[in-house]
Amino acid sequence: MFSGTAPILTNKSELYQELRAQLTSLLKGEPDAIANAANTAALLYHSMPDVNWVGFYFLKGSDLVLGPFQGRPACVRIPLGKGVCGTAGERRVSIVVPDVNAFPGHIACDSASLSELVAPLARRGSLVGVLDLDSPLLGRFDEADRAGCESLAQIYMESLKE
């Protein structure tokens, strides 16, 4: 079980290596999508520096609908193709946004959020939802975060296989 103490790590590579190990252990033996999304959001929110929101949106019809998250209350429904989440979902690619105010159509849920990273969640090529991280710092997320968060999203998706 997650100990609640943030790992003291010097670089992102070490951070994501540690997070992958912790997440794998945290989700082990549990296939429930909501429970595992809740624990994933909590682990990332409390372990990653400079994030003010971490959570899930799940595809329902043509909308991404808010799932488990940590942070301030957020927009509930995002049409596919809209905002950073809907764009990442529609294209099924991760998107790193260094400055949300420069992203056309960005949906502002918390005015404190200045940069964002969204990784899609897919099963056998079909979109299931997205993992969304916000930061109060400009340019908080880079390519190492993109790769790291994609690997964490994959661990979450693998946990759902019974």
Residue type for 83, please? G
Distance (Å, whole) CA 119 – CA 123 = 13
Give kind and range of the element (H or E) at residue 143.
Answer: helix 143-159
- Phi first, then psi, for residue 38 (nearest 5°) are -60, -45
Q: Which residue is nearest to ligand SME (CB)?
A: 83
Per 3-state DSSP, the chain is made up of helix, strand and coil in percentages (nearest 5) of 35, 25, 35
Least gap, CB of 100 to ligand SME (angstroms): 6
Minimum CB distance to ligand SME smaller for 20 or for 103: 103
Minimum CB distance to ligand SME smaller for 7 or for 49: 49
Least gap, CB of 120 to ligand SME (angstroms): 12
Q: Which residue do the tokens 């943030």 mark?
A: 6
Distance (Å, whole) CA 57 – CA 67 = 5
Minimum CB distance to ligand SME smaller for 67 or for 148: 67
Minimum CB distance to ligand SME smaller for 132 or for 145: 132
Least gap, CB of 82 to ligand SME (angstroms): 7
Which residues of this protein are in contact with ligand SME, per CB under 6 A? 53, 74-75, 78, 83-86, 106-107, 109, 113, 116, 132, 134
Least gap, CB of 38 to ligand SME (angstroms): 15
Distance (Å, whole) CA 16 – CA 154 = 13
